[in-house]
Amino acid sequence: MRSFKKTILTTAVLIGMTTTVLAAEQTKVVEIGDEISILQSENSTGTIAITEQTSVINAIGNIAIIEQEGIDNGARITQDGDLNYGKISQNGHDLVGITEATGDSNNQVITQTGGMAQAQVTAVGNSNIMKVTQNEIDAAGSIADRALVEVTGNLNEVRVTQKVNGQWYYGTDMIGSSNKITIEQKGDKWNEAYSRRLAGDANELSIEQDGYYNVTQVNDLIGSDNDITIDQEGDRNKVTANDLRFEDATLTIDQDGNYNAATVIGEGKDNSIKVEQDGDRHVAKMIAYGDDNDLDSEQKGSANDVYLGLIGNNNDFESEQNGQYNQIHIVDFSGNDNDIEANQTGDENTLMVQMGSSSSDFTANNNDFKLTQSGNLNEMALTTSSAVNSDNNKATLMQSGDFNIIDLMLEGSSNILSFTQTGSDNIIGAVGEGAFVVNGSNNSFTVTQLGDSNVVNGAILGNNNAVTVTQIGDFNSTTVSQN
């Protein structure tokens, strides 16, 4: 017989919110060695089953199994020690299942089938496995099932699977390293997943949602080498990842559908952040504080928006849009040696890049901008703060198509500016209307226009500036004044 010790073993059938009390023959308790099974019969109402087990040191572990059918039922398994197995199976409505494990290499399983179920899994220790499966039989018009998970320790594995609609997941405290958390919510609407705190290194968090009006939030991420993947398929879904303080992390957001939104706000270095959206009317917002970060945004569809705010050095940002009526807005508030690339393919797109800030504490120098638009009726703008100069920047702007506009207002010195427009009826001028202004010294300004009825209109202010304008085609006009 295996060595074990049960300090407390309580199997209780209590009165719940109803006045129903099960007869003794309706509850079956089987105890063999260090294994206990509790079976409560079909159509039970308002019952609670509680099991508490403690394994002695070096024991193989305890086994506890609770099975319930009916409504308003609750079950809890508490196990202390290593190599324990606890399983709760519930079938019915208004269910509560709780498992608690302290120790290593424990296995906790909760399976709930029916509706209005709540599951809570708590583990303190290492190399534990926790699984929650909730299956809502009837589609819910409000919140259906909830799963709450708390983990403290390393090398733990959490898997939560929720089906149909109105499912909620809460990861309230996930503290430790090399943990793997997988959340899967299947249905067609109103599922929500919240990771409230993930602290540690080399953790993996994966969240997958189907349907529309789904929500995912990742807050208070602390540590290095963490890998976060969020995948939403459907319409009007939303992802928010903020209060991120991380290093060497990977965050990937993939949204497929329409009217989806993704927001990422983080501080740290050597991180890789990617947002990919396929469909129409998406919004992607990324704000990064720190150095050596890699940010990537890709949108396929029409009427999509991207906003990027940067404070830091040696960051790489790439944004690509394919479709019509799209917008990209990039603000390099402060930082040096950043590499920013933006590409738009389609008609009536807008691309705006701003450098510097009205605050004298913010400067943007030695940055490299590569901006490209292909299509008709597109507009591109490159501006700097009028309060603080932006120096030693390199900007390459290219447009291909007809009726395109490049707007320009720059304050700074030793900047290298190159503009190419291919097509007809294109304009290089000021933000809004009128002439562009480049104010500073030792700037290089080169324009090439290929096509007919193109216009260059502006002023170069300062000393030792070099201006080159090349126009090939008919009915072109150039007006550049130097002071």
Strands 48-54 and 27-32: unpaired
Averaged pLDDT score across all residues of the chain: 86
pLDDT band at 59 (very low <50, low <70, confident <90, very high): low
pLDDT in tens, 185-197: 988 888 999 999 9
pLDDT in tens, 382-416: 888 766 778 888 999 999 999 999 998 888 889 89
pLDDT band at 1 (very low <50, low <70, confident <90, very high): very low
Distance CA 78, CA 68 (A): 17
Distance CA 256, CA 300 (A): 10
From the number of C-beta atoms within 10 Å of its C-beta (0-12, 13-18, 19+), residue 121 rates as buried
Calculate mean pLDDT across residues 295-307: 95
Q: Which of 90, 14, 89, 96 is nearest to 47 (CA)?
A: 14
Distance CA 344, CA 6 (A): 67
* Residue-level pLDDT at 6: 27
* Residue-level pLDDT at 158: 97
* Residue-level pLDDT at 427: 94
Give the angle 131-134-136 at the CA atoms, nearest 5°. 170
Token look-up 């009007």 returns 236
* Residue-level pLDDT at 359: 58
Distance CA 24, CA 45 (A): 14
* Residue-level pLDDT at 131: 97
Q: Is the pLDDT of residue 7 over 50?
A: no
State the pTM of this model.
0.89
pLDDT band at 16 (very low <50, low <70, confident <90, very high): very low
Are 246 and 265 a contacting pair, CB within 8 Å? Answer: no
Domain map of the chain by residue range? 58-403
**End-to-end alpha-carbon separation of the chain, Å?**
98
What's the CA dihedral at 5, 11, 16, 20 to 10 degrees? 180
pLDDT in tens, 229-252: 999 999 999 999 999 999 999 999
Strands 35-45 and 27-32: antiparallel
* Residue-level pLDDT at 8: 25
pLDDT band at 483 (very low <50, low <70, confident <90, very high): confident
User: Phi and psi at residue 26, in whole multiples of 5°?
Assistant: -85, -10
Q: Is the pLDDT of residue 25 over 80?
A: no
